[in-house]
Amino acid sequence: MKNRLIMLIVLTAMVGAACSTGLVAESADVKPGAIVIDRTDRPEQPTRPAEGENARPYLETVDLSIADIQDFWSNQMPKAFGQEFQKIPSSKIFAYNSSTPPPACGTGEQPSYEALAGNAFYCSEDQFIAFDDENLFPQLYEKFGSYAVAMVLAHEWGHAVQDQLGMADGSVPTVYLEQQSDCFAGAWTKWVDDGNSDNLSLSEGSLDAALGGMLAFRDEPGTNPKDPAAHGSGFDRVRAFRDGFTSGVEACADYGTNPPELTQLPFRTEGEYRTGGNLDYGQLIKLLVPDFDLWMKREFPSFEALSTAVGFDPSAGDVSCGGTTLSGADVTGKIFYCASDNSIRWDEPWLAGINDESGDFATGLLLGMQYGVALQSQTGMSDDDIGSEDSIKQRACLVGAYSGSLIDESANPTGSRELSISGGDLDEALASLISFTAPDHVDESGSSLAFDRIEAFQNGVLDGVSSCGIGG
C-alpha cells in the first residue's frame, strides 16, 4: 500500500447540473437521453388549446407517447390483472394553460389555472387526464428533456389503471398508489427499451432523465408519509420506478396489499425543519469523519483507520501524497484517497460549495465513496480493479449500507453515535450519484451507469453490507 496514489475516482463539480436529455424526431441529431420517434403517422391528439401549439417542441412525442402507453396497457393489463384496459379517448385528455383551464372534476366548479398550475392529474370521477402545458411540461422539457414529459404521462395512466381495477377507492394510502404508478411508468419504459413499442425507442441517457425526473417529483423533504397528499421521497419513487423497469408490471401489482418499505423520514425537530435537515459544512465534517471511522471499524474489523481525512485549499499551495506533489488541476475540484499515507483529502472550498448547494448528504456520498476506495485498497484490490465499474457500484452499495445504519439508529437510538439521518438526505445522495455520472451516461454494454449505481446504493440501504460483496 506504500508509495501509491489512488486518484482513480476524482470528481468534478457538477452537482445540480441539468441533464442533456430529450425526445427527438428521427431527422434530428439524437442526443443522449432521447426517445427517438420511429414513425411519422400521427395518432389521435389530446384536447389542447390551439394558441401556441406550434411553440411546443415536444408535441409529437406527447401524442406518440400517449398512443404507446395506451397500447402498452391494452397488452399488459389482461396479462397482469386478467382484465381488459379501457383506453382513454382523446376527448378526455386535456392539455391546459392559463387561457384554457382544465374542466371540473366531478360535480365541483371548474378550477382556475392558478389552482392547478404545475400539475398533472387523473380525475377518477370523470375518467379524464389533464396536464399543465404552460409551465409543468415546458419546465420539465427544458431541465430534463422530453422523456420526463413522457414519464409524467405514463405515471398518470397508471392512476387510470388503478381506477379501472377498483384500487382508487380510498382503501390504499395515497403514497402507495403514487409509487405503484411510478412502478407502472418504469414497466412502460422497459417495454420501450426492449423494442416493443411501435412508436418510440430509447437512446443513451434516457434512464438518467427518468431518475432525475423522479427526484424532481419527490415530496418536500420532511413530508410525513402518512400525509394524505404524500407521493414519496425521491429514494422511494426511484426504487418503485426501478421495480417496474427491472421486473415488469407484475412487480407493481401488489403494492396496494403488500406495499414496499418506506424510507421517507419526517423532520423530528424544529431545528431540522428550519435547516431542511442540513448541517453546515464545518459541523458536518466534524461529525461525519469520526462516524465513518466508527462504522467502518464496526463492519470491517480489519479496516485500518485513516491517518487523516481533511480538506485543503488548492490556492494555498501544493498538496503532498507520499512522495508525490500535487497542484493545480490535479487537486482542484477533487476528492481522493492517498494510499501512501492512508488518508482522504479534498478540495475544501469545492466540497463546501457542494454542501451549500446540494445538501449535506451529497457531501456525505462523496466522502463515503472514498472510504470505500480505502477499504478496497486495504483488501488488496489492484488500482485497475478499483477503477472498474463493478468496484464503483460496490462503493455506492457501501455508502448505502452506511446510510441504512443511520436510519436504523434514528429509529432505535443507542446513544453511541452523534450523527443521524434526516428527511431528504437519501435524495441528496441519489442526486450526487446522478450528477457525477452524467458525463459518462452508459457503460460499454449500453447500461445506464447512474441507474446501476443507484441500484447498488439502494440495495445497500435496504439490505445492508451483506449485499455489497466485500469483506475486510
8 A C-beta contact, residue 10 and residue 335: yes
Number of other CB atoms surrounding residue 434 within 10 Å: 26
Give the residue carrying C-alpha cell 442540513: 278
Express each pLDDT in 428-437 by its tens digit: 999 888 888 7
Q: Cell 377507492: give the residue.
A: 169
Per-residue pLDDT band at 438 (split at 50, 70, 90): low
Distance between CA 37 and CA 21 in Å, rounded? 14
To the question of pTM greater than 0.75 for the whole model, the response is yes
DSSP-based three-state secondary structure for 403? helix
| Nearest of 264, 76, 226, 94 to residue 165 by alpha carbon | 76
Model confidence at 66, in pLDDT bands (50, 70, 90)? very high
Model pLDDT for residues 267-276, shown as the tens digit of each residue: 777 777 777 7
As given in the structure block, the three cell numbers for residue 44 are 389521435
Lowest mean pLDDT among 9-18, 154-163, 224-233: 9-18
Distance CA 246, CA 225 (A): 25
For cell 386535456, name the residue.
94
Q: Is residue 465's pLDDT more than 60?
A: yes
Q: Which residues contact 135 (CB under 8 A, 6 or more apart)?
A: 117, 118
Q: Which DSSP symbol is given to 155?
A: H
Q: Tell me the pLDDT band of 471, cut-offs 50, 70 and 90.
A: confident
> Is the model more confident about 248 or about 424?
248
**Which residue, among 269, 273, 274, 350, has the nearest Cα to 314 in the 3D structure?**
350
Alpha helices per DSSP H over 300-423: 348-358, 360-378, 383-386, 389-411
C-alpha Rg value of the chain to the nearest Å: 24
Integer Cα distance of 371 and 319 in angstroms: 19
Contact 60, 41 (CB under 8 A): no
pLDDT digits (tens, 9 = 90+) for 84-136: 999 999 999 999 999 999 999 988 889 999 999 999 999 999 999 999 999 99
- Cell matching residue 89: 379517448
- State the pLDDT at residue 363: 94
Per-residue three-class SS string for 213-282: HHHHCCCCCECCCCCCCCCCCHHHHHHHHHHHHHHCHHHHCCCCCCCCCCCCCECCCHHHHHHCCCCCHH
Instruction: Please state the rounded mean pLDDT for residues 202-225.
Output: 77
pLDDT in tens, 249-290: 999 998 878 888 888 777 777 777 777 778 899 999 999 999
Position 166, amino acid:
G
Q: What is each CA distance from 367 to 313, 338, 431, in whole angstroms?
A: 17, 13, 15
